[in-house]
Structure formats: C-alpha cells, structure tokens
Amino acid sequence: MGRKVKGRTYDSSGRQAQAEASRSTIVRCARDLFIENGYGNTTIADIARAAGVSVETIYGAFGNKATLLQRAWDVTVGGDDEDIVFHERPEVVEIRTEPDLAKRLMLHAAFSTKTAQRIAPFQLMVQSAGGADPAAAAMLEEMGRQRLAGMTVMAAEAAKTGQLAVTEEECRDLIWAMTDGVLWHRLVTERGWTNDQYADWLGRMWVHLLVQAAAGRGRRGTPT
C-alpha cells in the first residue's frame, strides 16, 4: 500500500513538472511570435500551434493574451522563469554591493547592455502596439513602473555611498531613461556600435554625470 501512495506521489510530481514545462513553452512561443509578428497580429491559435498545445490549454493556463504578454515580459527581463525581483537577482546584487560607485556604474552599464539585447525587441514591439491595444498600452506603463522601482533601489544605494554628484532622484531618473533598451537599439542595431563599445560608453557617461570628482580620478568621474 505504501508503494501505491509513493507511485501516486511520483505521478503527481511528474504531471506537475510536465505542466510547468508546457507553460514555459507557451510563454516563450508567445514572446517570440509577439516580437516577430506584432502583438495585435498574433492570435492564441498561432501560439497554440507554435507550442504544440490546444487553444483550450492556453486559455486554461493563462486566461487571455494580455496575461501571456505579462508573462512574456517577465521571462524577457529576467532571462528565465525564476520568480525573482529583478534587483534581487544575484548578478544585480553583486553590482549593488560594489563600494566604488564609478566601478558600480561601469558594471551596471555592462549588465544593462546584456539585458538590452533581450528587452529592446520586446520594448519596441509593445510600443508599436500600445497606440491601438489597451493591453499593450497597460503593459508599456507596467514595464516602465517596474524599471523605475528597480532604479529607485539602485539610486538610493548609490546615494548611500556619498559619491553621487547629483540628487538621488536625478540619478534614478537618468538611469531609468537610459535602460529601456531603445537607446541600445539606436546605437547598436541602427548605428552599428558593438556591444562592448556601447557598454563602455554608457558606463563612462553615467560616471561622468553622476559621480563626484575625487582624488585618484584623472578627469571628473573617469575611473583610473
């Protein structure tokens, strides 16, 4: 009898893992189709075909296309399915704990450049759809709100170093405005900059604008 219970537990765990894998596939297929074809031009039936599931499965798991858009954004910004707040992810915490603000901003710029390669196509897709679709417009506002919340944390911690040359609010707003992926798209995709070139420029720009001049820096805000 104990073996039967164990078997039922195993089967339940297997079904749960299978369901989670199916949900992940659906979200990733939705994201890819949204970016490729546009949010308004992508139907639940399109997503079902790409994911190899029924339309009913998608509605049962997510309810509607707007929810899929939200989940697609979560996967895009995080790079995985983990339910972890962006500024609490290990790689971001490592940046946040760097005591030298100039070095921290250079690390942040490199990380932001890597992230932009994922989020820029999604950001541009949502912007394009936002004028005609209420769900996309709401998603665009939510994306900005999430980034602002993260940059608020980053700016507050930058202020605590005593090395900011501007107010905490200005630091927050400047970094927020430059990390939605659009600036990366303009310079890397449209103007042909390399990612390394962009990351270095972005970091030096932040350091120049945000970090107090200090002994050991050759020019204002330039790390030595």
| Confidence class for position 15, pLDDT limits 50, 70, 90 | confident
Q: Which two tokens stand for residue 16?
A: 């749960």
Same domain, 186 and 107: yes
DSSP 77-96: HHSSS----GGGSHHHHHHH
Please give the tally of structural domains in the chain: 2
Any domain includes 73: no
Give me the long-range contacts of 16-23 (CB less than 8 A, separation at least 24). 19/61, 22/51, 22/53, 22/57, 22/61, 23/61, 23/62
Same domain, 56 and 129: no
101 touches 211 (CB < 8 A) = yes
Any domain includes 70: no
* Rounded-to-integer distance, Cα 54 and Cα 57, Å: 5
Same domain, 102 and 151: yes
Among residues 38, 65, 92, which one ends one of the domains?
65
Same domain, 156 and 122: yes
Q: What is the pLDDT of residues 151-209, one digit of tens each?
A: 999 999 999 999 999 999 999 999 999 998 999 999 999 999 999 999 999 999 999 99
pLDDT of residue 83: 57
Range of the domain at 52: 1-65
CATH number of the domain encompassing residue 5: 1.10.10.60
pLDDT of residue 220: 41
Same domain, 182 and 91: yes
Q: What is the pLDDT of residues 113-151, one digit of tens each?
A: 999 999 999 999 999 998 889 999 999 999 889 889 989
